[in-house]
Amino acid sequence: MVFNSDSVRAVRVKESSISHRPAPLSPALFLLSFRHRDSLAGMAGRGGWRTIAARRGEGADQRFLESDAQIAVVDARDALFDGLEATRQLAGPASSTGAALLILLGRKDRSALEAAYQAGATHYLIEPFIENDFQHALRFAERHARRLSGHWQHSLREGGDHQDDITGTDTRDLLTSLPDATAVHQWLGPRLAAPKGKLALLMVGISRYDAINAAYGRRAGDLVLQMLARRIDRIVRATGRRHSILGRIAGSEFIIALQDEQAPEIIQIISEQIATETARPFVVDSDLITISCRTGVALARTGDDAMSLIRRTGLALTGSIPLDIGEDGWEVDLEVDLRAALATDAIDMLFQPQCQSADGRMVGVEALARWDHPVLGQINATTLFNVADRAGLAPQLSAHVQQKALALAMQWPASLDHIRLSINITAADIDQPDLAQQVSRMLAETGFPADRLTLEITESGLIDNLSAAAERLAELRSQGIRIAIDDFGTGYSSLAYLKSLPLDYLKIDQHFARDIAGSPRDRIVIRSVIEMALSLGLAVIAEGIETQEQLALIAAEGCGLIQGFLFAPPLNSAQLAEFAAGHIPD
């Protein structure tokens, strides 16, 4: 178990008072308090609770799962917004492990009870309260957790071999009609007790789901969950495996369990298909809603029960344990492997052509990082940078791929001497005061000409200081470097970026570009984006073009540059030279 300094202090409070209370210890208590941690930890300690306490909301779900606690307390007094956000973060892990979630509210926050309920709290306590009230609330929460745990354990003992569609059970999620957390536990129990093949779990969580509710309303958020549930259900059913279950275990989290000799391979295929499905927008009334998801995978091990297996899958979802998809419990630790890959120059670069929409002539390429993992195969840039973020390696990875792309481009044949090279820079890169100096140093070391370089700002990251970023980018442009905003329309501050930053290109996100062949409304949205960009003097690049119909429609709207599989997938340097022979006139 991992403890931070907050945790150790809270444990000592309990240990100093345990001699006064001969009763057995209650389950562990996870306590998150932004303003009153020490006083609450003292109250809990005097009641005999083994308390793991924290004062920050970041990573609360991970720390709760690591604590093995069956009760989580969120103290939202004097910090209502942070408290509700932490409650939402903890709701999924608490529900999936059968834990109670107690929220403490200030005397003026009674009106927030509905919000606390919607966030996932199972119990509440409102000021004013005394120590005895707090300890009674913990006992009520403890009984809730024990009853739920007892219900699940009874199901494990008495449930037998449940039907795969759990016909006859009433433990269904009301919103999606999928099996709920109790039903998933019932299904897992006998299969863990008497294994008949490998058992794998996949947990799926929607990223920034609260932002969807805030932007479009709770009704829209509910509809997205229902539509996503249907998409995932179709994917699972298409595998043809009888011994599987799909359930909704908490607010925006789903779980898929599969028992099969090929379970590790099948669950990985399902994970990839879900990533593709969640990338397709959801249409709610007149709104086009895009989401992204996180996944965590775990394999059953000898001695697992339902709770321990789900808890380990939840930890994989938060990124705090290795990715567990190998056979016989063998694990792949991507963070360790990434460090080794950087040290041995094992990260490769591919280049996807950017062509003129009018005649297909190649005028540039985008450099894309790829990692050919010895076990997992090719890992794309998105996953690669997610792993780097968790490992604290994002700056090193970013610098590595930028330097490598420039060095490889310098080895291209003379026929590619005029081709522009686009490399990605992140919001974290732009926040560095010496960004211009770093880029200049890379250009000097590799010899690549500045006037053929484009820096594409990945819009999925938030730039903290736009005025400072504008100055740094202007300094780069003064050297002849061009600037593009990547994935326009999917990130944090699209319009603010256009208003504040010195730009040369706007890249329409592939999900928008692919939809141009859809409804008239889709075309109107894309037309508006292109017209806005052109009015600002920006060239427009459309990503994700895969069909002639998409090409014709988006070219008709005034988009001059195209990138997508219609022309070419990402290519290595040799393939790029071969492609160029047919797409660069003599």
Give whichever of 110-119, 443-452, 490-499 has the largest mean pLDDT: 443-452
CATH architecture, domain 5-148:
3-Layer(aba) Sandwich (3.40)
> Helices (DSSP H) in 47-180: which residue ranges?
60-67, 80-96, 113-119, 131-158
Q: Provide the pLDDT for residue 461.
A: 54
User: Distance between CA atoms of 339 and 316, rounded to whole angstroms?
Assistant: 19
Are the CB atoms for 169 and 179 separated by under 8 Å? yes
Cβ atoms < 10 Å from Cβ of 103:
30
pLDDT digits over 456-468, tens only? 987 555 576 888 8
Q: How many CA atoms lie within 13 A of 218 on its CB side?
A: 6
Q: What is the model's pLDDT at position 74?
A: 95
**3-state helix/strand/coil string of 499-562:** HHCCCCEEEECHHHHHHHHCCHHHHHHHHHHHHHHHHCCCEEEECCCCCHHHHHHHHHCCCCEE
Give the Cα separation of 421 and 412 in Å (integer). Answer: 11
211-270: per-residue pLDDT in tens? 777 777 888 888 889 889 888 988 888 877 778 899 998 788 899 998 888 888 888 888
CATH of 159-332, one of 1.10.340.70, 3.30.160.100, 3.30.70.270, 2.60.120.260: 3.30.70.270
Separation between Cα atoms, residue 347 and residue 548, nearest integer Å: 33
**In the predicted structure, residue 14 carries a pLDDT above the cut 70:** no
The token pair that represents 134 in the structure block: 């707090």
Q: Which CATH number fits domain 342-581: 2.40.110.10, 3.20.20.450, 3.90.420.10, 3.40.50.300?
A: 3.20.20.450
Mean pLDDT lowest for which of 320-324, 353-357, 533-537, 560-564?
A: 320-324
Rounded-to-integer distance, Cα 507 and Cα 128, Å: 55
**Cα 308 from Cα 162, distance rounded (Å):** 20
* CATH 3.20.20.450 domain extents, the chain: 342-581
For the ranges 105-114, 257-266, 310-319, 546-555, which has the lowest average pLDDT?
Answer: 310-319
Rounded average pLDDT over 192-198: 81
Binning pLDDT at 50, 70 and 90, where does residue 542 land? very high
DSSP string, 379-407: E-HHHHHHHHHHHT-HHHHHHHHHHHHHH
pLDDT level of residue 130 (50, 70, 90 thresholds): very high
Look up the pTM and report it.
0.51
Q: At 3, list the tokens.
A: 């403890």
**Are residues 507 and 528 in contact, defined by beta-carbon separation less than 8 angstroms?**
no
pLDDT at 390: 66
Is 24's pLDDT higher than 50?
no
* pLDDT tens digits along 360-403: 999 999 999 988 877 666 677 877 887 787 677 888 999 999 99
Q: Is residue 169 packed enough to be buried (19+ CB in 10 Å), middle (13-18) or exposed (0-12)?
A: middle
Domain with CATH 3.40.50.2300 in the chain: 5-148
Query: Region 61-70: what's the mean pLDDT?
Result: 76
Q: Which pLDDT value is given to residue 164?
A: 43
